[in-house]
């Protein structure tokens, strides 16, 4: 069984100032997605599904198909590709969209756009985040081991210290698990940064500034799901829309959907730690550091250069 990788690439990149998922950051113009695809293929994934917006789908799809046309999976078969569209009006027919709404419905809604495409265990990642080789290996192993299970999902937890930005405070969901390693809660914290004293501080869900454990595991939106996730998430989405269909900014996020499933007992989620260091381009100021990191990877032979030939 070759799991599928679902890439969330529909974000607008308002803080970054452009489409981060198409920005060439590697020594030969490679994007962060390019590195994620490379790592995923090496870990045994067999298909990639991109969630994009309609206005840039044609350009995006053309670039992807040209770039990855010669990529082979570890079994020698060509890497497969699919594309799905996330738009505001892609909601159940019984709901009427507020015509003034402009924001997308969030990451969990984006994943639902692939429910008619994906029929095997799959991973979800952000298109503008670098997760590291080990993270993909760990998640691929988990997905293969859970091919025939339902209601059992996973989240890759990164040590908080390994996810901070030098360009400003970030938002992270701090994960809590029980004695069996099952996720019990994700608490969103904002303005997380390392202070002059070397300690990490952030604002908790109550708006209180608190010291955070740098080794605490946090969510960077890297998940492992079995196909039954779609049906369960769709049911949660209905309840979400019943309360928020008229709102202009409310978003349906994956942690919210998972939290609802944990509370009603319909699904459990395993928290899996990774030693990898995350980095990405949350801010435009992050770009030079990411460019330097990919150059370092190439110089050390961690990745071939160019990444694809």
Range from 16-20, 217-221, 234-238, 239-243 carrying the lowest mean pLDDT = 16-20
Length of the chain: 309
DSSP H helical segments within the chain, as ranges? 32-43, 54-67, 107-112, 133-145, 229-244, 254-264, 287-299
pLDDT on residue 21: 59
**3-state SS record for 62-121:** HHHHHHCCCCECCCCCECEEEEEECCCCCCCCCCCCCCCCCCCCCHHHHHHCCCCCCCCC
Q: Residues 73-105: pLDDT tens digits?
A: 999 999 999 999 998 889 999 999 999 998 889
Q: Residues 195-214: pLDDT tens digits?
A: 989 899 999 988 899 999 99
Residue holding tokens 């109550």?
206
Domains of the chain, first to last: 4-299 (3.90.550.10)
DSSP 41-65: HHHT--EEEEEE-HHHHHHHHHHHH
pLDDT on residue 1: 87
The answer on pLDDT for 147 being more than 60 is yes
pLDDT bin (cut points 50, 70, 90) of residue 182 is very high
Task: Label residue 288 exposed, middle or buried (CB < 10 Å: 0-12, 13-18, 19+).
Answer: exposed
Helix (H, G, I), strand (E, B) or coil at 34: helix
pLDDT on residue 17: 40
Cβ atoms of 238 and 92 closer than 8 Å: yes
CA distances from 60 to 14, 151, 289 (A): 18, 33, 25
pLDDT on residue 11: 67
pLDDT on residue 19: 55
Instruction: Read off the tokens for 188.
Output: 């969103």
pLDDT on residue 87: 87
Phi, psi for 238 (deg, rounded to 5): -60, -45
Distance CA 83, CA 262 (A): 30
Q: What is the pTM of this model?
A: 0.92
Kind and range of the H or E run holding 124? strand 122-126
pLDDT bin (cut points 50, 70, 90) of residue 16 is very low
Average pLDDT over residues 179-190: 93
Range from 37-41, 56-60, 121-125 carrying the lowest mean pLDDT = 56-60
Mean pLDDT over all residues of the chain?
91
Cβ atoms of 219 and 258 closer than 8 Å: no
């Amino acid at each position: 069984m070759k799991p599928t990788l679902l890439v969330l690439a529909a974000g607008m990149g308002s803080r970054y100032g452009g489409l981060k998922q198409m920005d060439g950051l590697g020594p030969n113009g490679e994007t962060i997605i390019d590195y994620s695809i490379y790592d995923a293929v090496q870990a045994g994934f067999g298909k990639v599904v991109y969630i994009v917006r309609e206005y840039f789908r044609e350009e995006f799809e053309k670039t992807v198909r040209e770039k990855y046309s010669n990529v082979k999976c570890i079994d020698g078969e060509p890497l497969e590709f699919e594309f799905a569209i996330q738009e505001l009006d892609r909601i159940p027919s019984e709901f009427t969209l507020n015509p003034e709404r402009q924001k997308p419905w969030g990451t969990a809604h984006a994943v639902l756009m692939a429910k008619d495409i994906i029929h095997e265990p799959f991973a979800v990642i952000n298109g503008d985040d670098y997760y590291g080789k080990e993270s993909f290996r760990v998640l691929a192993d988990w997905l293969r081991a859970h091919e025939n299970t339902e209601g059992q999902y996973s989240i890759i937890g990164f040590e908080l210290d390994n996810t901070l930005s030098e360009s400003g405070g970030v938002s992270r969901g701090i994960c809590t698990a029980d004695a069996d390693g099952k996720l019990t809660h994700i608490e969103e914290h904002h303005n997380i940064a390392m202070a002059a004293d070397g300690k990490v501080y952030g604002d908790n869900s109550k708006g209180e500034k608190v010291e955070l454990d740098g080794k605490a595991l946090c969510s960077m939106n890297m998940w492992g799901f079995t196909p039954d996730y779609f049906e369960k998430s769709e049911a949660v989405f209905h309840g979400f829309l019943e309360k928020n269909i008229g709102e202009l900014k409310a978003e349906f996020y994956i942690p919210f959907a998972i939290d609802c499933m944990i509370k009603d007992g319909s699904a459990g989620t395993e928290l899996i730690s990774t030693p990898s260091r995350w980095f990405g381009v949350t801010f435009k100021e992050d770009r030079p550091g990411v460019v330097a990191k990919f150059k370092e990877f190439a110089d050390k032979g961690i990745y071939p250069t160019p990444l694809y030939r």
